[in-house]
Structure 1
Amino acid sequence: MSKKHYKDEDVKRQSAEDIETAGERSTENDSGNAGEQEVPSEEQTSSQDASGESMEEETSSRKEENAELVQLKDKYLRTLAEYENFRKRSEKEKAQMFELGAKSIIEQLLPVVDNFERALEHISEEEKENSFVKGVEGIYKQIQKMFSDCDIQAIEAVGQKFDPALHNAVMTEEEGDAEEDTVTADLQKGYTYRGNVVRHSMVKVKK
């Protein structure tokens, strides 16, 4: 065989080896690239950890905020209830003070009314035409109207069954046609203010 033939064979063999070597290198590079894609870098791992911690912190913060809101709401409701109780108590005390003050004034007025009634009872028919007497009657009527407007009522006594809550028996009688425990005479009028007794009636009772 000629030298030229040997040279051609060597060239073909060398080319085949080069191609094979290049293929192996390409395969190694592909494998290396695939490995790099599958394994996350340290930066990616740190970023994911930081993101998870941030979410946990945010959730914890929201829970704390919700707990604070619940406490504030509870405190507000308790304060509101205390204020409402204070308001009601103040109104009740004010009403009681007003009632006591009104009762005290009425008690002081009643003897004046008693005197007006006694004076008018002893006026004769002739004296009723007197201008002074008419003035007294006018004042008495004004007092009666004021009592009515303020819900101050005279207690009914004569002919009523004796009631210790309304009447104070200072005299008794056994004769007469009245039934037992019936009031036969009203010696001094009693009065109520808004349904509460200001002064008991002083009465005579049949026994």
Structure 2
Amino acid sequence: MFNKKKKEEEPIIENNQTEQEIVDVQTEGTEAAPVEPVIELSPEEKLKQENSELNDKYLRLFAEFDNYKRRTQKERVELLQTAGKDVVVSLLPVLDDFERALKATENATEVSAIREGIMLVQTKLKSILNQKGLKEMESLNTVFNTDIHEAITKIPAPSDDLKGKVVDELEKGYTLNDKVIRFAKVVVGS
């Protein structure tokens, strides 16, 4: 009985068929898909595999972040090196004006013309700096404020209404885009 089943399962071979033709006839109509062996992993092996995947992901993320830090640091250095470039370029005409004024003083006999030329250069310089956001602080006769003033000394106030106010300004204070960049050095009335 065992032999009968085996005979029924074997393909019938004709005299002129080759072995390859027999295999082709047997697989005809069916598409062969590659079969990968399914290997069951133990829980420990699954955890090790998961751990190695997470570790690899972490290392890639760390390397990516390190590259990002280096790139932003390089960009920051480049920005700091070129940050003042536009201000310097805009001040070059003022420098040229000062050189022309110095040449004019060599042969000039009239002081008022030289003074007028220097005032024009100063006005041009102030205009350029104002365009860049620089503003002078007004301190005279204002209430002393430690946020914008630096008291050099106190003197007796000439009148009662000047007590606690700025009597004299030794050095002007400046703000750049509404942020104090130099405190005004002042004399306060007491």
- Under a length normalisation based on structure 2, what TM-score does the superposition of the two structures give? 0.50
Give the greater-gyration-radius structure (CA): 1
Counting helix residues as a fraction of each chain, which structure ranks higher?
A: 1
